[in-house]
Amino acid sequence: MPHRSALAVLTATVVALAGFGAVPARVDAAATPPPPVTFYGRGWGHGVGMSQYGARGRALAGQLAPAILAHYYVGTTAGTRDPGTIVRVLLLTGLAATTASPATIVGLGGRWSIDGIPRTFPAKGRLTLAPTASGATTWTLKAIAPTGTVLYRTTISGAVVIRPAPGLGLLQVLSKPSTSNIYRGYVRIGLTTTATVVNHVAIDAYLRGVVPLEMPASWPVEALKVQAIAARSYALHAIHPTTGSFDLHDDTRSQVYRGQMGENAATDAVIAATGGKVLLSGSAVANCLFHSADGGWTENNENVFVSSTGSIVAGPVSYLRGSSDRAPDGSSYDKASPYATWKTATYTNAQLSAFFATDPRTNVGTITKLDLSRRGVSRRLISVTLVGTLGTKTVSGDVFRSVFNVASPLADPPLLGNLFDIAPIP
């Protein structure tokens, strides 16, 4: 059945696992099956803003980037920002360097320098930093030639900034346990008893290491343009250059960023073609959230980013409104996603009760009822109420999903998002 209006989707779903308990006035015909229970879902991710697979489907259907962006971020307008604007990306924090295993940066592609030191150092030379003693906040800095000769040595505290040669210069953060650890821009290392490494890089250079990680470079150009503009807007919305030591994480807490080794020629061309383009809400850069697949319907931001008990804590954002993401034939634009539809394994009541007993937020003893009635406009769960022999507890959809995923067998399919029910969702 197609998605219904915001009022209609509030129809209750109650799983009466023990055959008793108050039943709401309206119950879907499929809402009270006996155990065992299987959860059926649609989409992957939070469901707010742009669906990446949805953007792909729309591009394949002939829609251009401006129309796709207008659908997912309703009411925003096109704007521009300086493509050289610096963003600060956290690469490492709490790095416990030692003399035997120092924090290490290698200058690639040309000579490199250290702020405050009036000389440069050769390509492929390295900078090392180690505390002067265990627990010390003073550090020994060495600049070492490719041959191993120590070119410069001093004791420092506070922070150090390493800059590559202008143009093609790059910095490799050897201390980062990754094969993607080469970066454009410069690196600032904050020093306390541990080291914090932050990449300062121009926004469009940063995007070169983001867009192909967030969306396959082989996808349609119009979808890639959508991703580039959304990712640029998301990052510039997040920056706060006069406070804190960084703006963005280099992983899914912000956007996946792999620096120079993540770059791709096709996405580089798209980033250049959309250079500096952002979406605006009024005069401010919009917070262009995105996710993998929306299951055919996006969600209002305030219904997703709730408290651990499902209380609404965020105000509505005018351009992050949930709406249908289906083609005229009724198919979901994200239908190519491997997670357009999914389901979990089937569990007995005893198994479900054991899963949720592992966390005090959801432990109600033997579960007698799951109330899955509180949903948003997309039918994503805002909260779930568990009723059992030890009482009643209400948690957000995210908490319910997290507890389930941690406690259920590792080999079993997880709950991939909050758009799920106990029967297939059309």
Domain ranges within the chain, ordered by starting residue: 8-47+330-421, 50-84+205-288, 97-193
pLDDT at 177: 86
CB contact at 8 A, 191 and 127: no
Give the integer Cα–Cα distance in Å for 9 and 303: 13
Binned average pLDDT, 10 residues per bin, the chain of 426 residues: 34 52 36 72 98 98 98 98 98 97 96 96 97 97 98 97 91 92 98 98 98 98 98 98 96 97 97 98 98 98 98 98 98 98 97 97 96 98 97 98 98 98 96
pLDDT at 16: 60
Q: What share of the chain is helix, strand, coil (3-state, %, to 5)?
A: 20, 30, 50
Which residue in this structure is represented by tokens 């993998």?
Answer: 292
239: burial class by Cβ within 10 Å (0-12, 13-18, 19+)? middle
- Tell me, what amino acid is at 339? Y
The interaxial angle of helices 52-60 and 65-72, nearest 10 deg, is: 140
CB contact at 8 A, 286 and 76: yes
φ and ψ at 17, to 5 degrees? -75, -20
Give the integer Cα–Cα distance in Å for 196 and 245: 9
Token digits of residue 71: 């659908």
Give the integer Cα–Cα distance in Å for 336 and 53: 7
Q: Which helix (H) or strand (E) holds 251?
A: none
In tens, the pLDDT along 354-366 reads 999 999 999 999 9
pLDDT at 13: 60
φ and ψ at 230, to 5 degrees? -65, -45
3 state SS of 189: strand
**C-alpha radius of gyration, the chain, whole number:** 25
DSSP 240-298: -TTSSS-SEESSTTS----GGGG--HHHHHHHHHTTTEEEEETTEEP---EESB-TTB-
Beta-bridge partner residues of 143: 127, 152
DSSP 300-325: -HHHHS--TT----SPPPTT----B-
The CA–CA distances, whole Å, from 260 to 199, 270, 277 equal 12, 16, 21
Please tell me whether the overall predicted TM-score, pTM, comes out greater than 0.95 for this model: no
Q: Residue 319: count other Cβ atoms within 10 Å of its Cβ.
A: 21
In tens, the pLDDT along 204-219 reads 999 999 999 999 999 9
